[in-house]
Structure 1
Amino acid sequence: MAATAFNGCISTIKSHGHKSNFALDQECGNSSLRLTSKGFKINLEVSGKERYCFRKRGFSVIQASSSSSQTTVLDQVSTPLNNKVDTPKKSSEAALILIRHGESLWNEKNLFTGCVDVPLTKKGVEEAVEAGKRISNIPVDMIYTSALIRAQMTAMLAMTQHRRKKVPIVLHNESEQAKSWSQIFSEETKKQCIPVVTAWQLNERMYGELQGLNKQETADKYGKEQVHEWRRSFDIPPPNGESLEMCAERAVAYFKEHIEPQLQAGKNVMIAAHGNSLRSIIMYLDKLTSQEVISLELSTGIPMLYIVKEEKYIRRGSPAAPSEASVYAYTKNLARYRQKLDEMVH
């Protein structure tokens, strides 16, 4: 039957001739013919079980099994024999921005904060705004923050300074109703938004029974060396709390599963989080040892820039100022992006 259908389709081609500027659709039993200026293609179906695809100009035959349903469409996988296929190239470079939140009210009071949810001080707000100025010419497609308000405030305040003027929108996926009620129904508006994903895995490490205690008073009570060990060792947790190692397990796992695929797809990502969750991620990015990471200090409100290229993370330090040309000379892509922003203004 396949041969009969094929011969019928070939007869159809001959009867119409092979002209250069026309398109013809012809049904031949359970087969179909498409004739265009680039040649012709024939799809044949036999008893809903087998399909044959013939394409003129670099003639090739593909046989594929299918379900018993005759409505299944064969994917167009046949190609000319020259094997030259134009496929869109993936972005070879992406920016990753890491920002530790600005000063919080408990930072100001010298209290162990951990997972207690306290907001920024006035100084913390100013630090977040300054951070935003420093990254105002670096592209941001997605934002990840911890579930804590000080990190979220930092991300939002930083983005108010971005020259692209896109609006960060917190995604609410905690329930079907939350998802339904937060839908955006304008495609144009969606283009001007940046999705913000909050994740508890990016939270500061949980300081257990130290949370809410004054750091100096705790040192006086337990001894300076003991408190230093709780704060700066890699695998020793405070009473009923997390060690840096435990914090790293959840933060790095989340980064690998959710954030890294976005970067590898060419998305530019900003992460606003905390000293220990960010130290954990930097340990992974820079391949630091457990001894090296415990000496790593991150200042509040200072952004760090990485270039992600060919699955490698290239650390670029902290953007010094929004007008610092060297920050954008690190890569041609960042320089081009900044030039586009300049053109939009003018």
Structure 2
Amino acid sequence: MPVLVLVRHGQSTYNLQNLFTGETDVPLTPQGREEAKAAGEKLKDTPFDHGFTSVLQRAIETMSLLLEAAHQPDLPVTRDRALNERNYGNLQGLNKADIAKKYGEEQVAIWRRSYTVRPPGGESLEDTYKRVIPYYEGHILPLLQKGENILVVAHGNSLRALMMYLEKISEDDIAHVDLATGVPRFYHL
């Protein structure tokens, strides 16, 4: 039975500073590197056949540190923009608390968690879903169907989109789903 494991990248510098990250390419913090290694320790007993990650350095570094800790440093890994975090547009790089003061907590929650509402100049979760799921169906699912174990290291929203698809989570319910950094999530297919 093939296994699909999803891992959100470790804490990034923007996570630590409470900034909207989106597609801004920021590194991991020391804590984020430790989270990646801890995830690898948890995955030592899962032999992977292939890995997938975004093209953003926080996901790439998490994948690398995780695989080193899991004693699988030579795993073939494909990087693709389709797995990038959603683009937060004009909010990228801005402090979430400051934006909440300016626009209200409710509006910020809608921008962050709603399925269809886009932040100014950015992508909705629906937009993210529309790039993640075709990529999953075209590149990841065929390997799972061949019986391969797959590791995906990506971002909160690209993984939430994939979780919607895999778990049949509704547009309303996905607003209440959050992924901790560096914690593996297993799917036995």
TM-score, with length taken from structure 2: 0.98
Q: Which position in structure 1 is the counterpart of 2:72?
A: 166
Instruction: Report the Cα distance in structure 2 between the residues aligned to 1:104 and 1:306, rounded to whole angstroms.
Output: 25
Task: State the partner residue of 1:113.
Answer: 21
Q: How far has the Cα of 1:247 moved from its partner? A: 0.5
Deviations 1:226-275 (A, max 9, x none): 11111111100000100011101101110011100000011110000000
Q: Does the alignment pair 1:215 with 2:96?
A: yes
**Partner Cα distance (2:110, 2:169) in 1:** 19
Instruction: Give the C-alpha shift of residue 293 in structure 1.
Output: 1.2
| Structure 1: tracts of 5 or more residues without a match | 1-92, 168-192, 309-346
- 2:119 aligns to what SS in structure 1? coil
In structure 2, distance between residues paired with 1:119 and 1:302: 18
Q: Is the 8 A contact 1:103 1:120 kept in 2?
A: yes
1:132 counterpart residue number: 40
Q: How does 1:67-78 map to 2 (within 5 A)?
A: none
Root-mean-square deviation (Å): 0.8
Q: Secondary structure at the match of 2:76?
A: strand
- The alignment partner of 2:75 has SS state of strand
Q: Could you tell me the percent identity over the aligned residues?
A: 47
**Separation of aligned partners in 1, 2:72 and 2:10:** 22
Q: How many residues align?
A: 189
Distance 1:146 1:166 in 2: 19
Alignment of 1:151-190 (within 5 A): 151-162=59-70, 165-167=71-73
For 2:176 and 2:184, locate their aligned partners in 1 and report how far apart those are by CA, in whole Å: 19
More strand by share: 1
Shift of 1:166: 3.4
SS in 2 for 1:217: helix
Structure with larger Rg: 1
Q: Secondary structure at the match of 2:151?
A: strand
Does 2:149 align with 1:243?
no
1:92-107 alignment runs, 5 A limit = 93-107=1-15
Moved over 6 A (4+): none
Q: Is the 8 A contact 1:95 1:139 kept in 2?
A: no
TM-score computed with the length of structure 1 as normaliser: 0.54
* Counterpart among 51, 57, 78 of residue 143 in structure 1: 51
For 2:96 and 2:169, how far apart are their aligned partners in 1? Answer: 27
Q: Which has the higher helix share?
A: 2
